[in-house]
Amino acid sequence: MENPVINGLTALEHPTQGIADLMTIKEKKGSYQGLKICYSGNLYNVAYTTMIFCATLGIDLSIACPKDIEPDKDILAEAQRRAKATGAKIELTQDFEEALKDADIVYGMSQYSMGQSDEEIAFLKEAFKPYQITMDAMKKAKPDAIFMHCLPAHRGEEVTDEVMECSQSVIFDEGENRMHSIKAILAAVAN
């Protein structure tokens, strides 16, 4: 008998979060067709999973990040390859306003990760300051744009309290969907 292994989270992937995110997007937007996501935050596992899922499903993704922050080249190449097949547009930009333009979903993520040095964290906090998701930033997206974040959030850093608690925020539905997505994965491997 084989024992299944579920990837709950690695440095390069966060598929359980990605499935919960897709479930939340489908619930809130009805379809993946014609959508654009603006992503602001560190370029680690959630970003990489979002890149691959968006490219695979034909969802446009605009990642707003500082010039000195670059994604894993192999993951970016794979996302670009998949995007070519589906017509998705996967882009990195330093222009946060351009990334927000016409976005249906604004996705915030922590600016740093566990295990980073104090110096790295200080550098990233400073580098990402212009990319903080505020209500003014949300106004640059579509009027019916939703705000997502995989949580936990560092309030006042990558996102303001006001955005976390606004009517456009779907973070608690997204969090609940993590439970449902993981239950579905467990049910699939149990059979």
Q: CATH number of the domain that 37 lies in?
A: 3.40.50.1370
Residue 1 has pLDDT above 70, yes or no: no
**Structural domain boundaries enclosing 118:** 32-190
Q: Model-level pTM? A: 0.96
User: Tokens at residue 123, please?
Assistant: 């550098």
For 27-36, what is the mean pLDDT? 98
pLDDT at 121: 95
- 171, with CB counted inside 10 A (0-12, 13-18, 19+), is buried
In a domain, 160, yes or no: yes
In a domain, 20, yes or no: no
For 49-76, what is the mean pLDDT? 96
For 76-101, what is the mean pLDDT? 98
In a domain, 159, yes or no: yes
The total number of structural domains in the chain stands at 1
Among 16, 30, 23, which residue's Cα sits nearest to residue 104? 30
Q: Rounded mean pLDDT of the chain?
A: 96
In a domain, 102, yes or no: yes
In a domain, 107, yes or no: yes
pLDDT at 191: 74
In a domain, 16, yes or no: no
In a domain, 22, yes or no: no
Contacts of 67 (CB under 8 A, 6+ apart): 94
pLDDT at 115: 86
Q: How many angstroms separate the CA atoms of 83 and 53, rounded?
A: 10
121-128's contacts with Cβ under 8 Å and 24+ in sequence apart are 124/42, 124/69, 125/157, 127/66, 127/68, 127/69, 128/40, 128/41, 128/42, 128/65, 128/66, 128/157, 128/158
- pLDDT digits 0-9 by tens, 108-167: 999 998 889 999 999 999 999 999 999 999 999 999 999 999 999 999 999 999 999 999
User: Tokens at residue 116, please?
Assistant: 């980073």
Q: How confident is the model at residue 99 (pLDDT cuts 50, 70, 90)?
A: very high
For 60-66, what is the mean pLDDT? 98
For 49-63, what is the mean pLDDT? 98
Run of H or E residues at 90 = strand 90-93
In a domain, 11, yes or no: no
pLDDT at 18: 97
